[in-house]
Amino acid sequence: MKLSIIIPIYNSASFIGHCLDSILTQKNIDIEIILVDDGSIDASLQICKEYAKKDNRICVLHQSNQGVNVARQKGYDIANGEYLMFVDSDDILPENAIEKLMDYAMQGFDVVRGNYCIVNSKGEETKQNSAIGYYTGEEYSNLLQKGQTPPFLWGGVYRKKVIDRSFFDYVIEYDLRIGEDYVMNLFISMNVVKVKLISDVVYLYIQNEGSVMHQKVFGREYASRIDDCITKYYKFPSEFSKKLFELNQIKGAISREFVPEMPFSYSDYKRIKKYISNKKNENIIREYHNRKQLLFIKYFVLFFIYTRIFCFLYVHLKSNYFKRDII
């Protein structure tokens, strides 16, 4: 059973060799490696061509700089494997990672994902644990929305037929360059029957300065683009799944209020207050999150109100104080 590994590349001359070496030394696998250079201005393309000369399993494509989603779609278009794997050019695979994933793929699972480690600049590894077990497509969607499984495209294998080509078009349409993996996984869950999540570490995420993975809170305009893309193209499998999506929107709005650089949004506040005023929404929070999160969301509004009152009184009193001094 062939696996197509798609690697978008942009100015990765310092990393791509290590990435490819970790893949080429994997054992007992039938693979093709599709390298898509996204208009690199360093030596990335030349390095890729040199590897391709040495190993006929490697195919090199080149395009003008159009972003990771277009690069992945280009790799998808020529992939011959029954399964696909996405790898970032600055990361590496641990020994036997592909074999562990494909063992389950050959048992008929549409998606097989494992755990990953974050590797810092000192080479220290920190394992990121997530849910393990067998899940349906809807259950996988709920795990993604609850943050109980990694939202990334890397770290697993996907049956090619569960990834519609149009999914790439959707994230390209909304110009999603951060968080697009989460959106893609939600779309993929619509076509999935069987998902296997395993405890083995199958991916090493190399922590580099400036990595987009570390951006935890999106700006309002960008968050709206993500929400609009999901709302337009994602078919919620149940009312329950839709409620989870609404809850995540509220949690995102709350998170933004704690970012000092982000201006206050009264519309976000009204939206949060309206959400928690609906008693029906408490059930979804209790059932799929926990009591602490429910209390956090409820008391955020009280905190918000008292903070605004304090600021108003402070400004008002300060203004009157200065007026008195002038008189």
> What secondary structure does DSSP assign to 66-123, as a single string?
--HHHHHHHHHHH---SEEEE--TT-B--TTHHHHHHHHHTTT-SEEEEEEEEE-TT-
Torsion sign over Cα 166, 170, 176, 179: negative
Would the pLDDT of 327 be above 50? no
Angle, CA 94 vertex, CA 40 and CA 76 arms, to 5°: 45
User: What local confidence, expressed as pLDDT, does residue 259 receive?
Assistant: 61
Beta-ladder partners of 119 = 125, 206
What pLDDT does residue 266 have?
Answer: 62
Q: What's the whole-number mean pLDDT along residues 194-200?
A: 97
Tokens found for residue 220: 């309002």
* Interatomic CA distance for residues 153 and 163, integer angstroms: 11
At 251 the pLDDT is 76
pLDDT digit string (tens) for 119-135? Answer: 998 888 999 989 999 99
Whether pLDDT at 318 is above 80: no
Contact (CB, 8 A) for 145 and 241: yes
3-34 pLDDT, tens digit each: 999 999 999 999 999 999 999 999 888 999 99
**Those residues with Cβ within 8 angstroms of residue 160's Cβ, 6 or more apart along the chain or in another chain:** 4, 76, 79, 81, 82, 83, 84
| pLDDT score of 294 | 53
Q: Is 310's pLDDT higher than 90?
A: no
pLDDT number for residue 246: 85
Q: Tell me: the pLDDT tens digits for 29-78?
A: 899 999 999 999 999 999 999 999 999 999 999 999 999 999 999 999 99
* Amino acid (1-letter code) at residue 271: R
Q: Cα separation of 317 and 325, whole Å?
A: 12
Higher-scoring residue by pLDDT: 260, 179:
179
Q: What is the pLDDT of residue 257?
A: 62
Where residue 131 falls (left for φ over 0; alpha for ψ -120 to 50; beta otherwise) is beta
Residue 50's pLDDT is what?
98
Residue 297 has pLDDT above 60, yes or no: no
What pLDDT is recorded for position 28? 80
Q: Provide, rounded to the nearest whole percent, the portion of the chain with pLDDT above 90.
A: 64
The answer to which of 50-54, 55-59, 192-196, 314-318 has the lowest mean pLDDT is: 314-318
Q: What separation, in Å, do the N-terminal and C-terminal C-alpha atoms of the chain show?
A: 87
CATH code for residues 2-214: 3.90.550.10
Q: Is the pLDDT of residue 152 over 80?
A: yes
Q: What is the rounded distance in angstroms from the CA atom of residue 189 to the CA atom of residue 161?
A: 12
Mean pLDDT (whole number) for 207-234: 77
- Local structure of 59: helix, strand or coil: strand
The mean predicted confidence, pLDDT, of the chain is: 86
Task: For residue 219, name the pLDDT band (cuts at 50, 70, 90).
Answer: confident
Q: Is the pLDDT of residue 242 over 60?
A: yes
Collapsing DSSP to helix, strand or coil, 183 comes out as: helix
Name the residue type at position 12: S
Residue with tokens 């494909």: 102
The CA R_g of the chain, rounded to the nearest whole Å, is 23
> What does the domain layout of the chain look like in residue ranges?
2-214, 238-320
SS3 state at 196? strand
Distance CA 262, CA 140 (A): 32
C-alpha of 44 from chain center: 25
Question: Would you say 31 and 56 are in contact if contact means Cβ atoms under 8 Å apart?
Answer: no
Whether the pLDDT of residue 241 is over 50: the answer is yes
250 — phi, psi (to 5°)?
A: -65, -45
| pLDDT 10s digits, 81-96 | 999 999 999 999 999 9
pLDDT of residue 278: 72
pLDDT at 186: 97
Cα–Cα nearest to 142, from 230, 226, 235, 237 = 237
Tokens, residue 304 = 């918000």
Tell whether the model's pLDDT for residue 323 goes beyond 60.
no
